[in-house]
Amino acid sequence: MKVRNMNIRPTGRLHRAVVLASGLLIGLVSATAWAGPAAAADVVATGPEGQTLSTAKATIDPAGESVVVTGSGFDITKGIYLAVCVDNGPGQVASPCVGGVDMSGQSHSIYWISSNPPPYAVDVVKPYTDQGNGKGGFELTLDIKAQDTQGTDCTASGVQCVIYTRADHTRSSDRTQDVKIPITWGTDPGPGPGTEDPVATADQSISVTVTGGALSLEVAGDAVSLSPAPVGGTATGQMNTATVVDQRGSGSGWSLVGQVTDFAGDVGNIPAARLGWAPTANGSGVTPGGAVQPGSGLGQAQPLCTAGAGGGTGSTQCDAALNLGIPSDARPGGYSATLTLTLS
């Protein structure tokens, strides 16, 4: 139960109310975990001497695409060709090759790779990258298409073309450098709708503890001064606004009532029942008390505002216009009384 007193007089005093604190405790517990999307696996083929040939994709648009082809672990003393050729089966030279023979070194559809070429080919070949221990590697962009003008058609029935390395013409019978990656012709549709790798994902677990607060009462000022009034007249004024804050979280409602003492003066008294009021309230689910007329007024506790079950949560302001009926036998002079507001 909260009790607040106000002294009321034509030049009266109002005792200040005390605000009771309320609290809300919120705790956040977060945990994040994310592993980035895995890169798409390369297509890799292994040759007779453990050398590898790899590319990021082997599904090629028949109209033509450029793909990066990487080789590793090749015998650095043996020159090779890199091209797209017709596969003729295990142990057989893949031939013909799309685009034919290029001796200019300018074509990207066939490469001659060698670190010890014949003198006439020094400006034509691509040298190996020395990987140590007699091994060499390369990384080249290969232009791939399904057909050429010499009649090679990789899309023809029964024809399988491959990304292919083989020993160059200086060792044409050497099959130890043969490495093949079969080609599939078609456009890569990419991931279907809803299957794209996310840029990132992160989860957070959020917890909260809500603690019930208080039911508190605050008034807006220190004094209420009614207007001067003649004997037999009516003195008027406005009660200082009362603010009810309900942070209990129970929704149980509350009641705020007021009662006044007799008005005491140096020359006599004015009965408490002579003070009437007309309450107002602005909170959700809050009902102001009924108007009380001078003569049957606040000598007994009267409701200022009331919140039913589920109402009056948060902040509510209650107010009242005051009317003091001056008795016809009152002596002129100053009078004061105490208005007590009780919240329960």
Q: Cα 208 vs. chain centroid, distance in angstroms?
A: 17
Separation of first and last alpha carbons in the chain: 4
Residue 28 has pLDDT above 50, yes or no: no
Tell me the β-bridge partners of 52. 46, 72
Q: What angle do CA 265, 271, 273 make, to 5 degrees?
A: 145
Positive or negative CA dihedral for 75, 77, 80, 82?
positive
Provide the pLDDT confidence category of residue 294 given band limits of 50, 70 and 90: very high
| pLDDT score, position 193 | 57
- Alpha carbon 54 to its chain centroid, in Å, reads 41
Other CB atoms within 10 Å distance of the CB of residue 242? 25
pTM for this entry: 0.46
Q: For residue 230, which of 332, 156, 317, 123 has the smallest C-alpha distance?
A: 332
Quick one: how many helices (H) and strands (E) in the chain?
A: 0, 24
Is 284's pLDDT higher than 70? Answer: yes
C-beta atoms surrounding 216 within 10 Å: 20
The 3-class secondary structure across 40-84, one letter per residue, is CCCEEEECCCCCEEEECCCEECCCCEEEEEEEEEEECCCCEEEEE
Confidence of residue 293 (pLDDT cuts 50, 70, 90): very high
Q: Domain 43-185, what fold?
A: Immunoglobulin-like (2.60.40)
| pLDDT tens per residue, range 104-163 | 767 889 999 999 999 999 999 999 999 999 999 999 999 999 999 989 999 999 999 999
How far apart (Å, rounded) are the C-alpha atoms in residues 14 and 38? 73
How far apart are alpha carbons 324 and 237 in whole angstroms? 9
Query: By the 8 A CB rule, do 254 and 342 touch?
Result: no
Are 297 and 272 in contact by the 8 Å Cβ rule? The answer is yes
The Cα angle at residue 147 between residues 141 and 152, in degrees rounded to 5: 115
